[in-house]
């Protein structure tokens, strides 16, 4: 995924870009609003509001008018009015400084997942069928009654079936970046989901790392 970071403060931009690159993203960084408006081909924009040339809100408005690229406002302005204005102008999320890189990466993933156009029909992995539009899940034609977190966990694993998703990523995306409760809740949900799917092979444990969605005929 290619991210555009719009941030004029070097003390913030340099570690931010470094952290995003360590998390596996390609990053382009610019320091002004006009530069931001000239960049094409990015998947998501991280936009500071306090820019030296154009007001960040104006940059947000112009970006949204020109394309549907997801925008996360990253700013020190934490007042409710600022948040509301940013969202009304088309931002997909609003993060107040200071923030942790793990929280920001979780926000990026969540916003990008919401922005991806869902397929016209249900997603199929072997005998498993997930209809994201209706949030219905079935196995071999048998519809499952899943709790909200069970559905979100399964949908996350199905985003890249066969790939390992770490426990930390699951906790951040399905629960909350600020989750401080026991991670045992993840194991409880995995066990419940396996029972409902009818075969433990659907969710494989990768010891010391996380889980991945398997394929059962």
Domains of the chain: 2-115 (3.40.50.2300), 123-213 (1.10.10.10)
Question: Higher-confidence residue: 38 or 167?
Answer: 38
Dihedral pair phi/psi, residue 2, rounded to 5°? -105, 120
Residue 47, C-beta contacts closer than 8 angstroms, at least 6 positions apart: 6, 36, 56, 59, 60, 63, 71, 72, 73, 74, 91
Per-residue confidence at 135, pLDDT binned at 50, 70, 90? confident
Pairwise CA distance, residues 198 & 171, whole Å: 24
Give the model's pLDDT for residue 180: 52
Place of tokens 């969202």: 87
Assign residue 14 a region (left: φ > 0; alpha: ψ between -120 and 50; beta: otherwise): alpha
* pLDDT tens digits, 47-68: 999 999 999 999 999 998 888 8
**Single pTM value for the model:** 0.57
DSSP 8-state assignment for residue 200:
G
């Amino acid at each position: 995924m290619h991210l555009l970071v719009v941030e004029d403060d070097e003390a913030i931009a340099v570690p931010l870009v470094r952290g995003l690159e360590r998390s596996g993203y390609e990053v382009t960084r610019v320091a002004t609003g006009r530069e931001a408006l000239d960049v094409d081909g990015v998947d998501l924009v991280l936009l500071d509001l306090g820019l030296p040339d154009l007001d960040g809100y104006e940059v947000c408005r112009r970006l949204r008018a020109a394309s549907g690229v997801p925008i996360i406002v990253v700013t020190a302005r934490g007042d409710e009015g600022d948040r509301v204005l940013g969202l009304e102008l088309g931002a997909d999320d609003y993060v107040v400084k200071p923030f942790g890189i793990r929280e920001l990466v979780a926000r990026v993933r969540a916003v990008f997942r919401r922005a991806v156009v869902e397929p016209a029909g249900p997603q199929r992995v072997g005998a498993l069928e997930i209809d994201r539009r209706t949030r219905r899940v079935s196995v071999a034609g048998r519809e499952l009654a899943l709790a909200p977190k069970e559905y979100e966990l399964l949908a996350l694993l199905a985003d890249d079936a066969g790939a390992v998703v770490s426990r930390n990523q699951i906790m951040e995306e399905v629960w909350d970046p600020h989750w401080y409760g026991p991670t045992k809740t993840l194991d409880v949900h995995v066990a419940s989901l396996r029972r409902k799917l009818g075969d433990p092979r659907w969710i494989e444990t990768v010891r010391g790392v996380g889980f991945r969605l398997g394929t059962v005929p």
